[in-house]
Every structure is written in C-alpha cells, then in structure tokens.
Structure 1
Amino acid sequence: MTFGIPTKQLVRASLGALTLALLAGCASKGEPAYTPKELRSFDETSSLETQWRRNVGDGLGHARYPIAPSREGDTVFAADVEGVVMAMNANNGNVEWEIDLDTTISSALTAIAGQVYLATGNGEVISLNQRDGSENWRSRVSSEVLAAPQANQQLLVVQSVDGRVTALDRASGEERWVYTSSQPSLTLRGTGTPMVIDPVSFVGLANGRLATLDNRSGQPLWEMQIATPRGRSEVERLVDLSGQPIISPDGRLFVTSYNGRVVALEATQGDVLWEADLSSRHTPILVGDFLFVVTDDSQIVALDANSGREIWRNDDLEDRWLTAPAFADGRLVVGDFEGYLHLIDAREGNIVGRTRVHSSGISVRPVTEGSTIHVQANNGRLETLEVTP
C-alpha cells in the first residue's frame, strides 16, 4: 500500500536538508509493515455541510510541506508550495486578493494583527499586509523553515530546521537575537513550533529538550529533557519535540514528544506536574479540563489536564496518519491520509460525523471558528464546512 502523505517516510538526515528516508516499520520494496484501519459505520449524529470551496494553487507539493491556512476575523489566508497566497472571505469564499511571491513556501501561515507571516524553503521570512497582500518586509534566517512563525507584540519568533530559533522585529524584520541548539544526526522531518508570549518563548527541540527563552535576549531561563533517546538505532533514538507547547491561562505548560511522553509543567520554573506515556509528534489541544492528544499511531486520547489521567481513547482511526486535532463546537476535528474529515465527540470519544474532502489526503491541521471548519487538502483544495446541529 502506498500513501499520499509524508509521515515517518520523511526524515531530515542532515542539517538544512530534506532527505527522504524510510523510518521504522517498513518492509521490503517499500511496503509498510502496518495497515491503516478500514473505516467502519457509526451512529452519525453530526453532519458536515460544505459552505464553499476554492483551489489554492498547486497544493502542498510532493514533499507535502505543512502549509496550513490561517484565519483572522472574517478572512481566511491560504497558500501553495509554489508561492501563491490567497485571501478569501470566510463566509462565502470570495477571493479578496491573490499574489504570487515567486518562491517556494514551506511553512504554515500565521495571521495576526493585520499581518500574514510565512516562511520559505530558502530561509526567507515574509510579512504581508492582510488588506491587500502587499509585502511589508523579507528577512533571512539560517535555513529552511517548516514551522509557522509565531508572534507576540514586538517579535516574530522563527524556528528553522537547523535547530536555530531567530527573533525578528515584527515591524521591520530586523534580527533581534538567535538561539542555537545541538541537533541529533537524524530527526523527524519538520521542527517544533514555538509558543510565544510577551516575556518568553517556549521552544521544543529535536534533541528532546524544551527551552524557555527570555524574549529580551534569547537567553535560556530554564531547560528540561522531555524525551530521552533510547534504543540502538538512530531511528529508535528519535525524540523530536515537533508539536507546539500549549500553555493554559493558569500557567501550566503541556508538551508532547516523539518516542517520549506527554508532560504537564509549571511554566515559570519547569516543575513537572504530571506525565503520561504517550508518543506524539502533534500539537495537542486544551479545552477546559481536557487535553486531547493524537498519538503517533493515530489513536486519539483525552487526558484530564489536572492529573494526566486517561479519560477515553479512540483507536477507530489507528494508523490512518491523522492530523493534529482541532476543536469545533464540542467536537474534535481531524483529517486523514485518504482525505476524510472526522468529527469526534469531545466528551465521549466516539465518532459522530465524517465527510471526504479530497482523495489527495489531508496532512495539515484544520482551522476552526465556532462551528465552522476550514480544511486544506494536499492538492490545494480549501473547503469550508459547517457542523450541524
């Protein structure tokens, strides 16, 4: 069986390069040693009604760059691998503007405070005006960027594939500081996405460490080993923190790791509050007292955010290469490698709705606003759906 998405097949084997390799679990002639679960019938209590759809350029490309869309207010912003960026009315899909940056886009988009930030395969970071797509500035960092740039009021923090974290001035794009970390010889394709608040940035690294950086200087305030390399082969010793740390309003930090654990920390000092033995390369989602995690074998797990106790686990979509979860009106939303979008009841853990967006597959996290879902398929199709009831 072959797959239309990058998963454990895509590994960066040297700094600043995208080397395609097969990770653990692959048999001879490229045949995976696992079998994605077949979809089964279920009691459908929620429906997904398409509101509009648009084709955004040529999609995510053969390497399946993680070019997730972004929404601010009533506008959705999306891009393709070849440099096309589009702004669309979130309610009806009308195109507000479209530009061609004439460069390979490699990162997800971040729309905030009237600007759209994105990054390229040659290490450029670009700021666009949300109103008309005009370019504010371009700045260069040390290498390719796959993670969405993250902003606070003054800075744009960018994590590149060579393990460096660069802070740029949001207004001008000028470099403010650079933090450098050690990189293992083999890492998952991609990097963690920083969690940036005004005083500090929380950064997950490919060596399994979490660093808390002072946004005034880039100096680490504290660091912690979240996942420890184990095993004899380099593949077994992968411990990337490739999801984004999540912070709660009361100052708890939730971190996932590949071949590691999910950890809850006290954000100011890094004291461990609890840990759970779950491997995940995805960003979790926190809703009230529930922390939702999609594991590396595509099980969906709900944890008590206060204790780490497992509340429910759904394995109906095991090995279907699910996206990171989103949340829409009481349901979790995930896409899979065959292009299906699934709704899971957040309290009970059962599948309650499903539709197919496109057979090219879905590999980037859906964007939600209330009961509205924007999801971009690998071929570039951007579809907006409404959850009912």
Structure 2
Amino acid sequence: MILKPFRPLAYAARVPLAIFLVAMLAGCFGGSNKPQPAELQPLAALVSARQSWSSRIGQVNFPLDVNVSGNSVAVASGDGTVALLDAQTGRDLWRLDLKTPIAAGVGGDGKVLAVVTKANEVVAMQDGRELWRQKLKAQAFTAPFVAGARVFVLAADRSVNAFDGQTGRKLWTQQRPSEPLVLRQSGVMLAVGDTLVVGLAGRLAGLNPSNGSIQWEAPIASPRGINDVERLVDLVGRVSRVGNNVCVRAFQASVGCVDAARGSLLWSKPAQGVQGISGDDRLLFGTEADGTVVAWRRSDGERAWSSDKLRYRSLSAPLVAGQSVVIGDATGFVHLLSREDGSLLNRLSTDGSAIAAAPVLAGNTLVALTHNGGVYGFKPE
C-alpha cells in the first residue's frame, strides 16, 4: 500500500493529525511472489458483439467515471481534456481543453458536465464551453454529482459541497469529522428520490440536497484493526440501485444494502474487493481483490455463484448489460460473463492497456475506455 502525505489547505493548521491519501491497492499482490494472472483459454463466443467505432481522449491516470446521458458519453483525460461523444458513432459532439490536470470526473445531468482538477477546482461545462470554476478546500477523487440544477462534490476531507449548476455559487457545505486516512479512489454519491445519498467513511448517509442536513446514516462497515491503515473504511463506486434499495461495497471489508427511504441497513456481508458493484433486482455482482467474480443474492447477501476464471487479472468494477456481466482487465480485454452462473460468454479486445474505468452502456452500445486513452464502442451483432 502506498501512503502519500496530503494536507488540505484549510485543514493543515486545525487538524492535529495530517490527512493521508491511500492509493488504490492495485499492487496488493506485488513483489516477487506476485501470483500470475489466470491464462485466458480459447473461447467460443456465445454472445455476439463487434467493435463499431473507436476514438481517443488521452491517458487516463485518475479515477474516471464515464458519464452516460441518453446516447452520449462524457470522458476525460488526465491532462485536462473533456469530450462528449456520440455513443452510436464515436464522433465528438464537443471537446474542451481545460488546460489543467484532472483529478476526478466526469459528472453530468445531460446538460451540465463537471470535473475536479488537481488544483482543487470544480469546473462546470455546457455545450463545449466552460461555465464556471470554484475552489475547494481539499482534493476530490469522486466525480461530481450533477442533479436538480446543482453540482455536488465529495472531497477527501469528508466534506460535501453544493454549488449552483449555472453560476457556481456555493449553496452549502456539510463537514464531517475527518479520519486520518482516506482512499484515493472514487467514492459514492447518488440521488434516491429527494435524498442525496453519500458515502462517508464506512457509512451511507442521506442528506437533504437543499441545505446539506443529514437525515439518516446506515453503517456498511466499521473500522477494525490496531493502526490507521488497518482501520481504514471507505465506500467505493460504482453502486447498484433498484428503487429505494441501494447496495454498495466497503473497500476490502464488505458488501451491503440499505433501504434509502428509511435509512436502514438491510444486510452486510464480508467481502474483500476494491472495486464497486453492479446488479439487477435479483443479483449483485462484484470482483474480489484476487480477481474472483462473485454474485450475491440481493435479497439477503448470500452467494449465488463465484468464478475464478479471471483471477489476478486486476479487474474493473462490473456492468450488467442484458444477460451479461461485463468486466475489464489490466491487459485491455473486456470479458462478458453469464449473469446466471459466471461462465464466459465472449471476450472483446482494445489496445492492450488496462481498462481504466468501469464499462458503461449507452443505448445499445457498450463503451470501454483504456489507460492509454482509447475509447471503444461495441454493439451486438
């Protein structure tokens, strides 16, 4: 695990213990005893798909969320380029160079897109032009959440900030006590009805989006261990939501589901993954740190199946698409597994660099993005 000192500008003088950022455990199995990735066996495609287009955005070296709105996808590169692409053709709808490195993004509501820069600025864009920039007091690694004409930002000091979507005027800030360690990885923010649901350490919290007041909290995981590293708990994206039922992963600790209407924990089960989860009304899907793909029953968290066919291949968070569970790996392959039993259905190739963000579905196009900046659209045959 890599520890990197980090002192938010407004907090270094007030917090007795400096805040640290913990890098995602991509190197959990590093060193001379690193297990070898599972060898990919010849595969007869049981689900047909073809690459229909490709584009480029630039190297992705930050926790990227690909934002989907209708038939368009928003992507970004670490050097500051943001692009909105037509998911049917891959062509640019617009492209903007922010001229500053990006730390988190992309959030959007179909009109306004937003990112956070490494200079701790929230930047909002619309129709290929910059609307506004606002300074944060701490870095952020979670894509801004844009909804209700507002832009919400979860920062590394556990603060939640709300801005007017058109003007950038700050509306409110909710500040929680900050733990000594936070993950350098995308966290959790989504809307459930009229509630803003946010991951704060190992808890899901329901906030009033108008003023930031906390309406409820539900624990997914609790700190454990004897030092700050062992006691680190954080919720990671992506998230599976069906109605008021919201299911999330706590980094290397557990998977759990919450009733977001009542703010009550439904269940929580031990799990060792580092990426978010996906699901439907019956099953949840996730990848464990060793590359085991697991399906849990949404109703009670019991395991439905697991597959070790992709072990140690540094897997992305999954996507449910049709009858498939779609997962990217560190060598640029996109794997399609059966939702029913985890059997391999197809394997799609990109440019050979790691899949840098969880795959997304825009209309009938599966979109995958690589560390080297390749953007690929696949369609069923």
Q: Distance in 1 between matches of 2:223 and 2:97?
A: 42
Deviation at 1:203, TM superposition (A): 1.4
Q: Residue deviations 1:357-387, cap 9 Å, x none?
A: 1222112111213441111100101111113
Q: What letter is aligned with 2:277? A: P
Residue of structure 2 in register with 1:39 after alignment: 40
Deviation at 1:23, TM superposition (A): 8.6
Residue of structure 1 in register with 2:136 after alignment: 141
Q: What letter is aligned with 1:71? A: V
1:338 aligns with 2:331: yes
1:216 aligns with 2:216: no
CA 20–109 in structure 1, closer or farther in 2 if over 3 Å, else same: closer
Q: Distance in 2 between matches of 1:12 and 1:190?
A: 13
Question: Equivalent pairs: percent with the same residue?
Answer: 28
1:284 aligns with 2:285: no
More strand per residue: 2
Residue of structure 1 in register with 2:54 after alignment: 53
Match runs of 1:1-389 below 5 Å: 9=1, 11-16=3-8, 25=28, 30-31=31-32, 33-56=34-57, 58-60=58-60, 64-129=61-126, 131=127, 133-206=128-201, 208-249=202-243, 251-388=244-381
Q: Distance in 2 between matches of 1:307 and 1:49?
A: 37
Q: Distance in 1 between matches of 2:203 and 2:238?
A: 13
**1:15–1:162 Cα contact (<8 Å) kept:** no
Q: Residue deviations 1:125-148, cap 9 Å, x none?
A: 12211x3x0112222222222211
Q: What letter is aligned with 2:139? A: E
> Alignment length, in residue pairs?
370
Q: Distance in 2 between matches of 1:347 and 1:201?
A: 32
Deviation at 1:26, TM superposition (A): 5.6
**2:76–2:83 Cα contact (<8 Å) kept:** yes
**1:194–1:244 Cα contact (<8 Å) kept:** no
Q: Distance in 2 between matches of 1:344 and 1:370?
A: 20
Q: Distance in 2 between matches of 1:108 and 1:32?
A: 35
**1:47–1:354 Cα contact (<8 Å) kept:** no
Q: Which runs of 5+ in 2 are unaligned?
A: 9-19
TM-score by length of 1: 0.87
Q: Distance in 2 between matches of 1:287 and 1:257?
A: 19
**1:167–1:175 Cα contact (<8 Å) kept:** yes
CA RMSD of aligned residues (A): 2.4
SS in 1 for 2:354: coil
Q: What letter is aligned with 1:125? A: V
Q: Distance in 2 between matches of 1:301 and 1:102?
A: 41
CA 10–354 in structure 1, closer or farther in 2 if over 3 Å, else same: farther
Q: What letter is aligned with 2:51? A: T
**2:286–2:295 Cα contact (<8 Å) kept:** yes
TM-score by length of 2: 0.88
**1:328–1:369 Cα contact (<8 Å) kept:** no
Residue of structure 2 in register with 1:5 after alignment: none
SS in 2 for 1:109: strand
